[in-house]
Structure 1
Amino acid sequence: MSDLVATAGKLAPVALVFGAGVVFARRKIIGADASKAFSEFAFLFAIPCYLVGSLYSSDLGRLFDPRAIAAYLVTALLGMVAVGFWARRMIGVDARGVALRIMAGVQVNTTYFAIPVFVLLFGDVAPIFPIILLQVCVLTVVVIAVMELGARDDVSAESTRRPVLRGVLAALATPIVVACYLGIGANAARVPVPRWLLDTLSFAGNAAAPVALFALGLHLGGTGLRLRGALRDEYALIAFKCLAFPLLALLICHYLFGIHGTWLTYLVLIAAMPAPQNLFIFAQRYDTDVDLAASVVAKTSLLALLLLPVWMLVTR
């Protein structure tokens, strides 16, 4: 019990800043619509600054651990197959509905949740970098392709290919991914970076964690939680994201790939992060299960925060 309390204490700053956002929005001290400005500051500036400096200073050999990356990739692929089969055969949704549920069940909120949590718990977000690339370069590309194809069943292949390509290029050109490219490229090429510039990036990047968490709290405080009238597959999807998927990561990483120690903790915690915030953006853009997406993002964010101390203890 004392270990659980001590572990939960490490997450106290996360709960405090996140909770402050919720309270500020609920009491209308700061309007929930202001969360967009805080989010854009974190997404477009603070987090990229942190990533460039952090990745430039990282040990690439430790960062790109082939066994750890392979273990998470296998976990993600199995999760995609499981959610896709369940959504298609058991729920009977169309291709876009399947893609959205796969995104909700397998992808994680790296930008607004995982990065701040890792900064506060470990002082390092480098282990998240391979997962960011995996999500953007593989999982998100698959979701975009399915969404576009599902929305354009009646048009030619050529007209379908263009929006898919635009979506893929847009995903690869997001500020966080570009920051990862810059940091890793400068590190690999041993580009000399002056100390004052690294200190400047660190100073700006230190704002990323509290601002991102506060923005997420504002957003959830404004939208609220819908406990009644949930869609039939909503809680099954939430349970898979917060319980089954990190448990699958634990079993595959530990027993199949023999991963122990800090990397096991990193991978399981990453899998235990909530559904990505851009799930709601995709749902709106393609007019697919918008209410489901909003509810899953909100509820997995709160449930993940409560379960993180448990997953930390389990992976010790």
Structure 2
Amino acid sequence: MSGVVSGFTVIFIIVGLGYLLGRTGALGDHASTTLSRLVFFVCTPALLVHSLATSDLSAVFSSTLAIASISALSVGLVYLVVARLWLRREIPELVVGALSSSYVNTVNLGLPIAIFVLDDESFIAPLLLFQIVFYSPVALATLDLTALDGSTRTSVWRTVAVPLRNPILIGGAVGLIVSVSGWTPPQSILESADMLGRASAPLALLAFGLTLTGVTVFKKGESPRRDIVLASILKMFAMPLIAYATARWMFGLTGHKLFGQVVIAALPTAQNVLVYATRYRHGEILARDSALVTTLLSIPVIAVTAWLLT
């Protein structure tokens, strides 16, 4: 439990600093947007390049990858169906909501918990691979084609070409190609990518804190309350249950390995979802409030999970 407390404390300190910077106006009126764009266009692609280029992919392709994929895609699909039929949302809002309900905070909170609670970083690598190589590119490609253009009706060439210019997809593809090829880039390149990549998490947290300035969660007339509640319930309760069922009965996992799968699924929504929402100017409040609500809920959820499974 000390590891859980430590991981959340780091997050709250940095988010709190971002909030104070927003309250004082020290970074100007457009700081949140600027930081979000920096994370989107520079830091996160650098993180993907370094992470994948220096990873042993043979250890990544495991049952954890399958469990993470099944649980995230299942929850995301449920959100899409329910929000479309019940809330009548358009595609960009549906995509941001689906990410809010299933995109896990692997770096900011996942790594500390994997190290201090699970004592095994290997739980994070498969999830990171799934999110950055498949989940993010698919979601961002959809946003490219619907949020930026305002319509899904595009030419075949534009449908193919627009997502290929996305920096997240490019960073993930470059890192994966380098890892598969076995080529080791010059140390100066790796260190530069590592330095920029390490800035991704704190800058995303600062941007998150900046957006909280003068904000009231579930504010009447402004906050999409039903969307946030739906995304938060799916993220904090449905996703861990699906991960448990998949790990326990499909892959036969027990003990510490089963515990690890459920804890990873119970991590809150990643702040990067807000970065994506800000970039495409759709679902910002949904992404921001879902990340905040799930971060608060994840503390008791992970504590109960530890009590039941250990």
For this structure pair, what is the TM-score category when the shorter chain's length is used for normalisation? 0.7 to 0.9
**Cα distance in structure 1, aligned partners of 2:264 and 2:76:** 17
One-letter identity of the residue aligned with 2:199 = A
Would you say 1:256 and 2:250 are equivalent positions?
A: yes
Partner of 1:193: 185
Q: How far 1:25 sits from its partner (Å)?
A: 1.0
- Structure 2 partner of 1:116: 108
Question: 1:21-61 CA deviation, whole Å, 9 max, x = no partner?
Answer: 11221333333521222222222222322322222221101
- Equivalent residue of 1:227, what SS? coil
Write the distance in 2 (CA, Å) between the matches of 1:169 and 1:129: 23
Where does residue 14 of structure 2 map in the other structure? 17
Aligned counterparts of 1:204 and 1:237: Cα–Cα separation in 2: 31
CA deviation after TM superposition for structure 1 residue 68, in Å? 2.8
Structure 2 residue ranges without an equivalent (≥5): 116-120
Superposition CA RMSD, Å:
3.6
- Cα offset, 1:216, TM superposition: 1.8
1:218 alignment partner in structure 2: 210
TM-score in terms of structure 2 length: 0.75
Q: 24, 34, 37: which one pairs with 1:37? A: 34
- Judging changes above 3 Å, is the alpha-carbon distance between structure 1 residues 200 and 281 closer, same or farther for their aligned structure 2 residues? closer
Deviations 1:215-255 (A, max 9, x none): 22112326553433455623234322343334333333343
| Count of residues in correspondence between the two structures | 292
Alpha carbons 2:144, 2:162 under 8 Å: kept:
no
1:251, 1:312 → 2: CA distance? 17
Are residues 250 and 28 of structure 1, via their aligned partners in 2, closer, same or farther at CA, if it must alter by over 3 Å?
farther
Higher mean C-alpha deviation, range 120-129 or range 14-23: 120-129
Of the structure 1 ranges 75-84 and 210-219, higher mean CA displacement relative to structure 2 is found in 75-84
CA separation of 1:266 and 1:142: change in aligned 2, threshold 3 A: farther
Q: Summarize the Cα distance change of 1:53–1:136 in structure 2 as closer, same or farther, 3 Å threshold.
A: closer
State the one-letter code of the partner of 1:136.
S
Rounded to whole Å, the distance in 2 between the matches of 1:83 and 1:225 is 21
In 1: Cα distance, 2:225 partner to 2:108 partner: 32
Q: Which structure 2 residues correspond to residues 117-136 of structure 1 after superposition, within 5 A?
A: 117-122=109-114, 126-127=125-126, 128-136=128-136
Corresponding residue for residue 83 of structure 2: 87
Task: Tell me the alpha carbon deviations over residues 164-210 of structure 1, each in whole angstroms, 9 at most, x when there is no partner.
Answer: 76355433432232222222211221113233432333233222221
Aligned partner of 2:50 in structure 1 is: 53
Q: How many angstroms apart in 2 are the aligned matches of 1:222 and 1:83?
A: 29
Structure 2 Cα separation of the partners of residues 311 and 9 of structure 1: 16
Unaligned 5+ segments in structure 1 are: 153-159, 285-289
TM-score w.r.t. length of structure 1 = 0.74
- The answer on 1:75 being equivalent to 2:71 is yes
Q: Which moved more, 1:258-267 or 1:178-187?
A: 258-267
AA aligned to 2:30 is D
Q: Which moved more, 1:172-181 or 1:251-260?
A: 251-260
Secondary structure of the structure 1 residue equivalent to 2:212: helix
